């Protein structure tokens, strides 16, 4: 048996459903209300109503990044026919800064899952240079892989995800 998989992105099927395997090379810190998002934490819709603070690592202000936030489990993880639902798209984020310095191509839409427990995934790409990115016509059925290919973004440089279910959800437990 191969070495037990330890990467949460693989176990949580983010690598697989949204992106392919990649090497992390840039720090990506996402925080909602001063609470840093670690892979696999569960946040309620009320906690993620407003866009998070996103800090990007690196060291060169002339290097630009694109951040994508998608829900691959829309409308329901058991039947994700709207995969992926695009919640946020920010481009031209200079290294060492954050999304507030970038271009918001698709504005932040707060997650409101109605059925099941959804993964909300942030993926960071490095741009070759400043570039114009066009917003898709609609949020549903977005494809991060295709998007990266169209805009020559290459493999992701960072990713993080959290779980989200409706406010009164029971955490998947009966009773």
Partner 1 sequence: MFSDVDDHANTLNKNHHNIDFKVSSSSNLSMFSNTTRTMEEVWKDINLSTTNNPTTTVKGYHGFILQDFLAKPFSSNDIPTSVSSPPLPQPPVLLTLDSGPVQLDYVKEDQTPNVCSLNGPFEQVLGSADSSSVGHNIGGMRVLPAGDGAGGDRRHKRMIKNRESAARSRARKQAYTNELENEVERLKVENAKLKRQQRQVVPQPQLAELAEVDTME
Q: Which is nearer to partner 1, 36 or 49 (CB)?
A: 36
d(CA 167, CA 54): 24
**73 vs 92, beta carbon nearer partner 1:** 73
Restricting to residues 145-174, which ones interact with partner 1 according to CB under 8 A? Answer: 163, 172
- In whole angstroms, how close is the CB of 1 to partner 1 at the nearest point? 16
For 36, 76, 165, the CA distances from 91, given in Å and listed in that order, are: 21, 28, 28
What is the chain's alpha carbon radius of gyration, rounded to the nearest angstrom? 16
Does the N-terminal peptide bond of residue 84 adopt cis geometry, omega within 30 degrees of 0? yes
Among 45, 57, 77, 136, binds partner 1 (CB under 8 A): 77
To the nearest whole angstrom, how small is the minimum distance from the Cβ of residue 34 to partner 1? 17
Kindly identify the residues of this chain, within the stretch 90-149, that bind partner 1 according to CB under 8 A.
117
Nearer CB in complex with partner 1: 63/117: 117
Cis peptide leading into residue 173 (ω within 30°): no
Sole window of 7-15, 57-65, 105-113, 140-148 interacting with partner 1 (rule: CB under 8 A): 7-15
CA distance 164 to 71: 10
Minimum CB distance to partner 1 smaller for 6 or for 62: 6
- Residue 40 in contact with partner 1, rule: CB under 8 A: yes
- Determine if 38 is a binding residue for partner 1 (CB under 8 A): yes
Kindly state whether residue 57 participates in binding partner 1, applying the rule CB under 8 A. no
Q: What is the dihedral of CA 77, 51, 121, 57, to 10 degrees?
A: -170
Strands (E) located in the chain = 28-32, 35-36, 41-43, 53-56, 64-71, 85-94, 103-106, 118-126, 158-164
Binding test (CB under 8 A) with partner 1, winner from 41, 63, 82, 115: 41
Q: Name the residues that contact partner 1, by CB under 8 A.
A: 6-9, 11-13, 38-41, 77-78, 117, 163, 172
């Amino acid at each position: 048996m191969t070495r037990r998989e330890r990467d949460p992105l693989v176990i949580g099927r983010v690598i697989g459903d949204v992106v392919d395997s990649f090497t992390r090379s840039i720090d990506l810190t996402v925080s909602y209300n001063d609470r840093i998002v670690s892979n696999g934490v569960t946040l309620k819709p009320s906690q993620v109503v407003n866009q998070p603070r996103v800090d990007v690592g690196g060291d060169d202000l002339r290097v630009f990044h694109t951040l994508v936030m998608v829900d691959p489990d829309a409308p329901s993880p058991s039947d994700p026919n709207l995969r992926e639902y695009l919640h946020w798209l920010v481009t031209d984020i200079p290294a060492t800064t954050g999304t507030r310095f970038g271009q918001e191509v698709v504005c932040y839409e707060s997650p409101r899952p109605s059925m099941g427990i959804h993964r909300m995934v942030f993926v960071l790409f490095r741009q070759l240079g400043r570039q114009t990115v066009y917003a898709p016509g609609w949020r549903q059925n977005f494809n991060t892989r295709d998007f990266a290919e169209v805009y020559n973004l290459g493999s992701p440089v960072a990713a993080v995800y959290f779980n989200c279910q409706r406010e009164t959800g029971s955490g998947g437990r009966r009773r």
